[in-house]
Amino acid sequence: MDWAVLADFGTAIGTLVLAVATFVSTRSANHSARLAERALLEGLRPLLLPSNFTDDAQKVRFMDGRWLTVQGGRATMEVDESVVALALSVRNVGSGIAVLHGWHIPEGPYAQPATPEEFQRLTRDIYLSTAYVGFVQVAIRDPRSDAYRRVVDRMSAGEIVLVDVLYGDAEGTQRVISRFSVSRGPAEHDASEQELFVTVSRHWNIDQPAPRV
């Protein structure tokens, strides 16, 4: 028996076993790291829905100095020859703070959402906690824009006004586009006092897999 060959063979077997053990250990560690990352992201994930009718009213200030008061579950809009000012009462029902990025007025209910680069960026940072009611504000200051014309035409025709809202978590990731609908409800007194109600129809994930197949 060649003891030198046998020793080399034993060393090779030992090295192979060590390599397999290292591979299994690394794979397990990577799996654990992915699970930990998913748990962390889940703890940061926001999701916006309309607020409840029983939520408190909010006063929203715009850059031109105007104020709008919006009730829970509703929207408030002012339109003049130069500006459409719109405020929506919303809640963050996710598990982490939502940071609003911008808004877009889609062409219709079946239109695909715009790319994040096409959204109108907000002029201030708006953070929505999971503990309190919040708001989305839209200011369209170009009466020649498609967004202005779509909102004015739909409101004049008594149709639903659509607003896509782009937002993400506090780390700037897990971006979501939620499509909100603003429509008139039944008048309590006369047509001039009709309220605007808010609903949500779709959510699109930008940085995560789609929520539906």
Which tens digit of pLDDT belongs to each residue from 112-161?
A: 999 999 999 999 999 999 999 999 999 999 999 999 999 999 999 999 99
Average pLDDT of the residues in 90-96: 94
AA identity, residue 20: V
Is the per-residue pLDDT at 185 higher than 50? Answer: yes
Residue 15 pLDDT: 76
* Stated pTM of the model: 0.79
> What's the pLDDT tens digit per position in 9-39?
667 777 777 777 676 666 655 555 555 555 5
